[in-house]
Structure 1
Amino acid sequence: MPSDERLAVELLARTDYGRVATSMRALPFLAFARHIVADGRVLLRLPRSCGYHRACAGSVVAYGADNLSSARPGESLWSVQVVGECAAHEPTAAETERFGPMPRLVDGEPYEPVYLSVEPQFGTVHSIDGGLERHFEHIP
Structure 2
Amino acid sequence: MSIDPTASADEQLAFELLRRTDYGRVATSMRALPFLAAARHIVVGGQILLRLHRGYGYHHACVGSVVAYGADNLDVATARQGGQWTVQCIGLCEAVEPSNAELELFGPAPHYADGELFDPVYLRIEPQVTKVHTLTAARDRGLQHAR
TM-score for the superposition, normalised by structure 1: 0.88
Match of 2:101 in 1: 94
SS at match of 1:45: strand
Regions of 4+ moved over 6 Å: none
Q: Distance in 2 between matches of 1:41 and 1:23?
A: 21
In the TM superposition, what is the alpha-carbon distance from 1:71 to its structure 2 partner? 4.5
Q: 2:27 aligns with which of 7, 10, 21?
A: 21
Aligned pairs for 1:5-44 within 5 A: 5-44=11-50
Match of 1:4 in 2: 10
Conserved 8 A contact 1:43-1:117:
yes
Q: Distance in 2 between matches of 1:99 and 1:57?
A: 20
Q: Distance in 1 between matches of 2:18 and 2:97?
A: 20
**CA-to-partner distance for each residue in 1:58-110, whole Å, 9 max, x for gaps?**
10000000011225142210011000010001100010011011111101111
Q: Which entry has the higher C-alpha Rg, 1 or 2?
A: 2
Give the paired residue count.
133
Moved more, 9-18 or 112-121: 9-18
Identity of aligned residues (%): 61
Q: Distance in 2 between matches of 1:3 and 1:31?
A: 28
**CA-to-partner distance for each residue in 1:19-63, whole Å, 9 max, x for gaps?**
000001110000000000001100000000000000001100000
Match of 2:112 in 1: 105
Query: Within the alignment, does 1:62 sit opposite 2:75 as a pair?
Result: no
Match of 1:84 in 2: 91
Q: Distance in 1 between matches of 2:40 and 2:85?
A: 18
Structure 1: gaps spanning 5 or more residues: 132-140
Conserved 8 A contact 1:5-1:121:
no
Structure 2: gaps spanning 5 or more residues: 1-6, 141-147
Q: Distance in 2 between matches of 1:110 and 1:61?
A: 26
Match of 2:53 in 1: 47
Query: Within the alignment, does 1:122 sit opposite 2:129 as a pair?
Result: yes
